[in-house]
Amino acid sequence: MKTKFKLYSLLISALIFQPLFSEEISGEFIKDSAKKWLNNHGFEENISLLSEIKYPKCNKLVFSTVSLNYTLIKVFCEKPNKWSIILRNKILKPKKIKKAQKFNNRYKNEVIVLKNDLDKGSVVSPDDIKEIFVNTSINKGIAISKNDVIGKKIKNKILANKGIYLKNLEKNWMIEKNSKVIFENSSEFIKIKVDGIALENGDFNDKIKVKNISSGEILTGFVNNNKKVIFRPKQF
């Protein structure tokens, strides 16, 4: 009982733990990049993201839409720190202005296909895909942008040079439900780590619940990487 009380005391008194990275990027940079991506795809933008929040260094940000109307945008980083976040694009009526291109007096539609077959569970990378033009109309739900598929996990095997249906892709969570994680609480003077089981899916900086394997206690923290959830008392 005393041990449990001490743990609660440490959790309550702990300062926010900020992960140390050699370099960081700001929320303002991510917001500006997202705006450019939306404008390039012919959509209006009104991104909601705190400018002062810092994120781990990323060599290249990859954007994709989570919703069909581009009101939810996923930001994905593969290297050197793997993480992703979801941005809300607060606009009343998203308007897509991109049109089919005309070649030799015929309209052709751009679609995204795989260069090679990919099996179930594979995560699509920029090197896996290419753009092609087709003479026929595009079925609803077919990927038309690289950002629709990059960073997504494949539900069932997809063949090369075939249209990619968005319903055959799923979110590639940084931490998946029921996976083993380390729950960490750090202050200026002490650091506590316990083994836990994630009770929810989560991306970088998402708040999720974790079950302490030893005590069975349910803890709440923020996703830090694919193995760690950290406690930030000032954000509850």
Q: What is the pLDDT along the chain (236 residues), one digit of tens a residue?
A: 444 444 443 343 333 333 434 478 888 888 888 888 887 777 777 887 877 788 888 888 888 877 666 778 888 887 888 888 888 887 655 444 444 454 444 446 788 999 999 999 888 888 899 988 877 666 778 888 887 888 888 999 999 998 899 899 988 888 889 999 999 987 767 888 999 999 999 888 889 999 999 999 999 999 888 889 998 765 44
The residue among 44, 53, 230, 76 whose CA lies nearest residue 151 is: 76
Going along the chain from its start, the domains and CATH numbers come out as: 24-89 (no CATH), 101-170 (3.90.1210.10), 174-235 (2.30.30.760)
Q: Tell me the residue length of the chain.
A: 236
pLDDT for res 16: 33
Per-residue H/E/C for 21-47:
CCCEEEHHHHHHHHHHHHHHCCCCCCE
**Backbone phi and psi for residue 80, each to the nearest 5 degrees, phi listed first:** -80, -10
User: Which residues, 6 or more positions from 214, have their beta carbon under 8 angstroms from its beta carbon?
Assistant: 194, 195
pLDDT for res 170: 86
Determine the Cα–Cα distance for residues 184 and 60; give it in Å rounded to an integer.
28
Place of tokens 């012919």: 42
